[in-house]
Structure 1
Amino acid sequence: MDENYLRLRSGSNETTRVIGILQNTQEILDDLDRQFCEQTGLNGTDIAILFLAIGLQIARQYLLTKFPIRLDDQVAAQTTFGHLEEHSNRHHRLYNPSLEEIISNPVPFDANVKANGALSGGGYMGHRVTAIGHDPLLGLIFGTANIATSTLTNAHFDSFHIYTGTLGRDEFRQHARTDLVLSCTMNKLLSGGIEGKQIVAVSLMKEIIHLRSDVNTLHSLPLPVVSVVNPQLASNLAAYGLDMANVLTVAKQATYATMINALIAMFHGMFSDATTAMEEKLYEVKTRKILSYSNIVASSSNLAIVAITKDFHKLDLGGLAVTIYRLITDRKFIRQVKEEFIFGSYKDMIMNDYI
């Protein structure tokens, strides 16, 4: 009888306790919300790291990832090659120029004399979109093959032999077979001995150097592959700013901003003394606040400076994209952790596990 009484008494007390919690739910949730804010608020160390992050992002914006000043073709060539122009002196051996000839002559896909419409339809970018040796991706294949065979392949995959004209300039002379352009290049690589391998290697290097010299010119290079789908579209996109120079710069901005965020997150993590899973999550909330705040401050200051100076070379589009991404993902993470902390603690209180 006494045992049953004690059991009933205990049950009654537990019921009273749970009812008391339920009746004070709003006050308890408000208190847990306050505790969450206190435990995830930034202290002195966190604020110091926040200012470090802001400083690194701002330094990155103006020292490492500004939009480059566009050069005209001749200045770009002089900067890259150390001279203004290469003069054509081809010996007209079909598909088989010598190594010396490849080194001393300009890339054949820059030819436009006597093209007779073979390079038409390029619009704003001209031969940069109709000669696919200028494609940042396909050019590594076709541009290399064109250099190794003294040919030019256009956006329709028609190929032409390039000769030295009477004025020492490259010019179109006759059609070539695109399949032979590729197969002859492959034969040089696989069965042409040391010289054949040297020819292909030098052709690839010359292709890469040429793309590099063109990318930051006034017309830059088209987006990869678009030229072979629609040269006019590639040209129109470039006219609106969607060219390789801008894409590479924005990608560089985003990559560097992300790298700084990762370094700051690792550095801040070194100061954590969390021992439980929830404490680790609460500390990560502080880390994410530091990253979000630093990105917001850096992007806001950048937009303000660009608006004041009208200097769009300073615009940090990639960093702004990273900031927006962080705002979305960090806010979602913080909200999830907050809900887990508050409602998890509330549940523990009801289950009598809350301390």
Structure 2
Amino acid sequence: MRKYKKLSEKVNKQFEKIINRSEEVNKNMKEFIEVNNRMLDNFENLDKVLEDIDREFAKKTGILNKKDQIFLWTAVALQISRIYIVSEITKIENAGKGELEEYLKKFQEEMFKKFQNTNDGINQEYRASLKQILTNKVPYDATDGGKKFGIFKGANHRFATLGHDPILGYIFGTANILTNTITTVQLPLVLSYHVQYNEIYGNPQITKLASTGLMFLKVEERIKEDKITVALALIKQIIHIGTDLYTPKGIQIPGANLVLSKKNAERLTKYISTGDIIKITSSAAIAIVINFIISVLHNLFYNENDDISRELYNVRTRKILKVSNIIAESLNIVYVGSSIVIGKQTGNPELIKEGMKRIDLGGYIVAVHQIVKSSLVQEKIRREYLENKLYDKFLGENYSFLEEE
């Protein structure tokens, strides 16, 4: 009897398992039928489903609330201010009359003021006195005598002298200042000449051929015995290049006169100068910094309780950057275009030049990059959002039976 009872209990347990399994199978079958019907309905209206999800995504990621609007127009204001400030700083002005040149010369005077009482006032061959170095004149600006040696004629001395090179000038220009020499490019040669001044350091004249090698040996000696004077000469070189950057002749791109004739180097500088490169890169760099600051600040204001998901919020951040860049650069294009058109209609070439000077090429580059980058990020997040929504839409909440092993 005991054995029979145990066997009966085992049989009952097996029947209970079969019954439970059958109920579970029936439940899963019902869920499967429901999900399948839902999927069929959604497939029949797939276009509308996709349209609704896209509309929902656009609504959640659009610049709608007050917080986003504040960041958008702050970014626009900063970008427009950048365009104006960079254009003002880099505007072309006549040599000796520009605001930038005047500022740099005053800055130099202030720096050199405490050295004015020096007793070192007599120039020697390959050695400029400290008083000479403290003046605003640089020896490689000398033009008197240039024609005699077949070096250059007049203003195009900038394209014949290595002191005016924006990179090599820190070596040759500084050496020229320390030795009262001028180093010129006469393809395929690099030749140096002595420059002499009168007793009040005026009337510079190119007098005779000098040794470029000996010039550098004398500079090396000066470095060992008087590092302060060498530092002052270097500062003078930097400031002088700065005063020439945004003048009508401009400063050639690095090394131009080493591979081109003086005439061709001058022609090239009319189209692209070192000043242009500095303007474009600085404008682009500032635009990138502004975008970064706006992006960081906007993300700091993210509130997980009130705002959408972090991924969708990031789309709104990038949209703020993209739209602000587009608005700022569009306004710049309108200003430049209208200046050129009005200038042509009224026969006013100065207005045309003014418009051309305001072209924000660096900003255009950053704006295009921002548009492409933002669009790629937005599309990636949109696809992920679409996939998740379609998954929920087609399968609903009752799909646990699909996940069972």
TM-based fold match above 0.5: yes
For structure 1, which segment, 31-40 or 17-26, has the greater mean C-alpha deviation from structure 2 after superposition?
17-26
Gaps of 5+ in 2: 1-17, 107-120, 341-353, 400-405
After TM superposition, the structure 1 stretch with the greater mean CA deviation from structure 2, 98-107 or 206-215, is 98-107
Contact 1:153 1:159 in 2 (8 A): yes
Post-superposition shift, 1:7?
A: 5.1
Q: For residue 273 of structure 1, give the secondary structure of its aligned residue in structure 2.
A: coil
Contact kept in structure 2, 1:250 and 1:318, CA below 8 Å: yes
3-state SS of paired residue (1:157): strand
Residues in 2 aligned to 1:199 and 1:337: alpha-carbon distance in whole angstroms: 60
Mapping of residues 55-204 of structure 1, within 5 Å: 55-66=77-88, 68-76=90-98, 80-81=104-105, 93-104=124-135, 106-115=137-146, 116=148, 119-120=151-152, 126-155=156-185, 156-164=189-197, 168-189=202-223, 191-192=224-225, 196-204=226-234
Q: Residue 197 of structure 2 aligns to which amino acid in structure 1?
A: T
SS of equivalent to 1:161: strand
2:286 to 217, 234, 256: 256
Deviation of 1:78 (Å):
5.7
CA drift at 1:209: 1.6
User: Which one has the largest radius of gyration?
Assistant: 2
Aligned residue for 1:73, secondary structure, equals coil
Q: Check the 8 A contact 1:152/1:160 in 2, yes or no.
A: yes
Match of 2:366 in 1: 322
SS in 2 for 1:74: coil
Aligned residue in 1 for 2:55: 34
Distance in structure 2 (CA, Å) of the matches to 1:113 and 1:220: 21
Which range moves more in the overlay, 322-331 or 303-312?
Answer: 303-312
Answer yes or no: is 1:20 the counterpart of 2:38.
yes
Match of 1:332 in 2: 376
Moved more, 252-261 or 283-292: 252-261
- Greater CA deviation, 12-21 or 216-225? 12-21
Secondary structure class of the residue paired with 2:372: helix
The residue that corresponds to 1:85 in the other structure is none
Q: Distance in 2 between matches of 1:354 and 1:292?
A: 41
- State the shift of 1:207 in Å: 0.6
Q: CA deviation at 1:287?
A: 0.8
Once the two structures are TM-superposed, the CA of residue 257 in structure 1 deviates from its matched residue by 2.2
Corresponding residue SS for 2:303:
coil
Mind listing any 5+ residue stretches in structure 1 that lack a counterpart?
A: 83-89
Give the corresponding residue for 1:44: 66
| Cα distance in 2 for residues equivalent to 1:13 and 1:158 | 95
The alpha-carbon distance between structure 1 residues 181 and 50, as it changes in their structure 2 partners (threshold 3 A), is: same
Note if contact 2:322-2:370 (Cα within 8 Å) is conserved in structure 1: yes
Q: Is 1:270 aligned to residue 295 of structure 2?
A: no
Q: What are the Cα deviations for residues 239-262 of structure 1, in whole angstroms up to 9, with x where unaligned?
A: 12x112332223332233222222
Question: In 2, Cα distance between the equivalents of 1:148 and 1:248?
Answer: 27
SS state at 1:126 partner: helix
Q: Residues of 2 paired with 1:354 and 1:10: CA distance?
A: 11
User: Does the 8 Å CA contact 1:119/1:131 hold for their aligned counterparts?
Assistant: no
Distance in 2 between residues matched to 1:354 and 1:197, nearest whole Å: 82
Alpha carbons of 1:293 and 1:266: their partners in 2 closer, same or farther (altered >3 Å)? same
Amino acid at match of 1:46: D
